[in-house]
Amino acid sequence: EKGLSLAKVNKTYHQGAKELHVLNDVSFNLVPGEIVALVGPSGAGKSTLLHSAGLLEKPDSGDILVNGISSASLNDKHRTALRRDTIGFVYQYHHLLPEFSAVENVILPQMITGLSQKKAHKRASELLDMVGLSERLAHRPGELSGGEQQRVAIARALANAPTVLLADEPTGNLDPETANRVFDLLLKLVRSVGLTALIATHNHELANRMDRVLHFEGGKIC
Ligand code: ADP
Ligand code: ADP
C-alpha cells in the first residue's frame, strides 16, 4: 500500500465574504514508482493540491495517505514527522538559502533529522554529484546559473530519501533549453530511485513524457 492517495479532499479559502472551493472532493491514487503530471489552468488550485498532498496544508476534510499511512487523524507533530520522512518538494523558484553554499543547502534538511554532520555532508556531496554539480559544492546560490540552482533544489528535495516527490512547475523559471535538460535529469533521478512523483507543469510536452496526466480544473480531477 505504498504510493500516494487522496481521498475526498476538500479545501475552501475565504477571501473576505467570498468562498473559493479550490479542492472539491479530490480523489486519486498514485501507485509506487508512478510519475504523474498535474496540469490545469493558472489559479485552478494545483499549488494548493500539491501543498495538501505534501501535508504542508491541512485540508478541511478528506484524507491523504502516504505509503498507506493515513494523515487525517495525525496531530501536527506526527503529520510533520510523516512529511519529513516521506516527502520531498521542488518549487518553481529554488528557495535556496542565499548565505549558504550548495552543499550546506543540501546538508541543512538532514540536520533536522539528527543525522551527523559528517554523514549529512557525505550524502549531500553524493546527491550534488548525481545532479552534476560536484564542481560547485562551495558555490552560493547567487554564484550559480538558474539551471544549477534548480539542480541544487532537486538534490535538497532528495536529501532525506523521500519516497514521494512533489514538484510545482520545477522548470517553469528556466529558458526552454535549460528547462528540458533539468527536466530530463529530474525524470532520470526519480525513475532511478523509484520515487512516486506528482509534477505540476504548464508544458504539455513535458507532461506527456510522464506515465500519466491528471487534468485538474474547477476543483476536480477531470
Ligand atoms: P495554481 O497553483 O493552480 O495556480 P493555487 O493553488 O495557487 O492555484 O490557487 C488557487 C486559488 O486559490 C487562487 O484563486 C488563489 O488566489 C487562491 N488561494 C491560494 N492560496 C490561498 C490562500 N492561502 N488564501 C486565500 N486564497 C488562496
Ligand atoms: P503559483 O501559481 O506560482 O503556484 P501563487 O502565486 O498562486 O503561486 O501562490 C503562491 C503562494 O501564495 C502559495 O503558497 C499560495 O497558497 C499563496 N496564495 C496564493 N493566492 C493567495 C491569496 N489570494 N491569498 C493568500 N495567499 C495566497
Q: Which three cell numbers stand for residue 63?
A: 484524507
Protein residue with its CA nearest to atom 23 in ligand 1: 13
Helical residues (DSSP H) of 170-222, grouped into ranges? 176-193, 204-207
pTM of the model: 0.89
Number of H helices, E strands in the chain: 7, 10
- 100-110 pLDDT, tens digit per residue, is 999 999 999 99
- 46-73 pLDDT, tens digit per residue, is 999 999 999 999 999 999 999 999 999 9
Protein residue with its CA nearest to atom 6 in ligand 1: 45
Give the Cα-Cα-Cα angle 38, 11, 187 (nearest 5 degrees). 20
Q: Which three cell numbers stand for residue 132?
A: 552534476
Q: In the prediction, which pLDDT does 41 show?
A: 94
Low-confidence ranges of the chain (pLDDT < 70): 1
| CA 45 – ligand 2 centroid, Å | 9
Confirm or reject: Cβ of 22 under 6 Å from ligand 1.
yes
Q: In the prediction, which pLDDT does 2 show?
A: 81
